[in-house]
Amino acid sequence: MTPPLSRPNLAAAGRDSAAAPVRIVHFGLGAFHRAHQAWYTQHARDRDQWGIAAFTGRSDRNARLLDAQDGLYTLVRRGAGGDTSEVVTSIVQARPGSDLPALIAAFSRPELAIATITVTERGYRLAWDGGLDREDAGLTADLAGLASEPFGGFAPTTLLGRLLLGLDARRRARLPGIAVVPCDNVPDNGRFLSTGLLQAAAEVDTGLAAWISAEVSFVSTSVDRITPRTTAADVAAVNRDAPFQDAAPVITEPFTDWVLSGDFPAGRPCWEDAGARFTADIEPWERRKLWMLNGAHTMLANGGLALGHETVAGAMGDPRLREMVDALWDEAAAQLPAEVEPPAYAEQLRTRFANPRIEHRLAQIAADSAAKLKLRIIPVAVAERAAGRPAGACAFAVACWAAASVVGDVETAVHALSPVLAADGGFVDAVRRGLDELGRRGAA
């Protein structure tokens, strides 16, 4: 619960210039968006031309808090040696995701150029290949409702439903297309989203599907900045001596990275001013991040919880877990090209993971671990085994998940992740050894 504020909030501080016009719509108004895409926009030289209208997902809480502060919030970069902070002004509208009139109005602006997305992997409600998940009741209801109701007469609740509603508003207004930029940890996320969205659009209106295919670009991205949930203690610390109170600060690490691949038909901010990189081939960068950062996080989360740790820094301080993380990075590096500099990235990750002042909770990271392992660990394990190497660290990561979950016997656990590896006796034996070791250490 957010404590009552005893001093004027950030809205009273005002902006250093007029609010920028809305040229970006964002879906998923959480801490990561505010630490990443909004921060990059804040640090672009042309930020006065690029305002963000941000919409929440499941909860309206952040919209309420930020709307009361005119979209302003404090971003704290928490390094091992101290904090630096700034007020971010790039969000000029903060709205509940259910405010569909505001969403339609934003998409109907002639100057709109971009829609960015941070809703987590599950928020897309798509199958692993990007196709529609026919068993998702919410998505099925949205597509049926949008197909049967006149424009604006049905209120979708899913990301795809709301994105289709916004794009259809733009089509009906005879406005040019935009770039759609997913920023979640899905391989080739631009292609993934375009596959599902075009299938969804075809079920709603073939004319809309044709317009999206011709006018809308999909940009693939790799995003990287550790941003834990803000706690009540964080809010209190930010507000302790501040002249203006902030009910919605964001705590993040100093490091950040953003790699993008795709076209922006209506322009974009100068995100490269803040270090964003643009490439024709995002796959190596995407794999580096998924396999090295996210894969190690999943190992540490499950292994750390099994051994009684609560945070990434705490788990990284466990010698055996740290040894296996290093081995996992070696296995991933063997499958990555030299140009993405895996050894340098591993060294950065060691420093980032060991930062004791970023309390990244293992329980938060461990959510949906089976789905995460399929993306982050299994591809490396399969490639390493195909190359004739043991993939021992990958097997240990699977063992960590099995130890933290109720998955039955080892063969069943491995088969749930990869039938190919379940048929590999050497890999299954390595998982079993990892489980035995975790059991011994947990009992010690």
pLDDT in tens, 262-290: 999 999 999 999 999 999 999 999 999 99
pLDDT of residue 7: 78
| Residue 2 belongs to a domain | no
Provide the CA 66 distance to its chain's centre, in angstroms. 20
Domain co-membership, 216 together with 334: no
| Residue 1 belongs to a domain | no
Domain co-membership, 175 together with 211: yes
pLDDT of residue 395: 98
> Furthest-apart CA pair in the chain: how many Å?
68
| Residue 3 belongs to a domain | no
Cα–Cα separations (whole angstroms), residue 223 to 149, 165, 272: 37, 26, 14
Structural domain span for residue 212: 10-278
**Tokens representing 12?**
């009273």
Domain co-membership, 105 together with 145: yes
pLDDT of residue 406: 65
Domain co-membership, 77 together with 184: yes
Residue ranges for the chain with pLDDT beneath 50: none
| Residues contacting residue 9 through CB under 8 Å, at least 6 positions apart | 68, 69, 244, 245, 246, 247
pLDDT of residue 91: 98
SS3 144: helix
- 82-89 contacts at long range (C-beta below 8 A, 24 or more positions apart): 84/254, 85/238, 86/42, 87/10, 87/13, 88/34, 88/38, 88/39, 88/42, 89/15, 89/16, 89/19, 89/42
Domain co-membership, 264 together with 335: no
Other CB atoms within a 10 A radius of the CB of residue 434 amount to 24
Provide the CA 308 distance to its chain's centre, in angstroms. 26
Domain co-membership, 374 together with 267: no
| Residue 316 belongs to a domain | yes
**Tokens representing 419?**
């039938």
Domain boundary among 250, 278, 306: 278
Q: What is the CATH number of the domain that holds 26?
A: 3.40.50.720
Domain co-membership, 272 together with 152: yes
Report phi then psi at 91, rounded to 5.
-85, 115
Domain co-membership, 263 together with 366: no
Tell me how many domains the chain contains: 2
Domain boundary among 256, 278, 300: 278
Domain co-membership, 395 together with 341: yes
Q: Structure pTM?
A: 0.90
| Residue 124 belongs to a domain | yes
Domain boundary among 222, 249, 278: 278
Domain co-membership, 295 together with 183: no
Domain co-membership, 261 together with 343: no
| Residue 4 belongs to a domain | no
Domain co-membership, 287 together with 269: no
Which residue in this structure is represented by tokens 């039955």? 408
| Residue 88 belongs to a domain | yes
Q: What is the CATH number of the domain that holds 330?
A: 1.10.1040.10
3-state secondary structure the chain: CCCCCCCCEHHHHCCCCCCCCEEEEEECCCHHHHHCHHHHHHCCCCHHHCEEEEECCCCCHHHHHHHHCCCCEEEEEEECCEEEEEEECCEEEEECCCCHHHHHHHHCCCCCCEEEECCCHHHHCECCCCCECCCCHHHHHHHHHHHHCCCCCCCCCCHHHHHHHHHHHHHHCCCCCCEEEECCCCCCHHHHHHHHHHHHHHHHCHHHHHHHHHHCEECEEEEECCCCCCCHHHHHHHHCCCCCECCCCEEECCCCEEEEECCCCCCCCCHHHHCCEECCCCHHHHHHHHHHHHHHHHHHHHHHHHCCCCEHHHHHCCHHHHHHHHHHHHHHHCCCCHHHCHHHHHHHHHHHHHCCCCCCEHHHHCCCHHHHHHHHCHHHHHHHHHCCCCCHHHHHHHHHHHHHCCCCCHHHHHHHHCHHHHCCHHHHHHHHHHHHHHHHHHHC
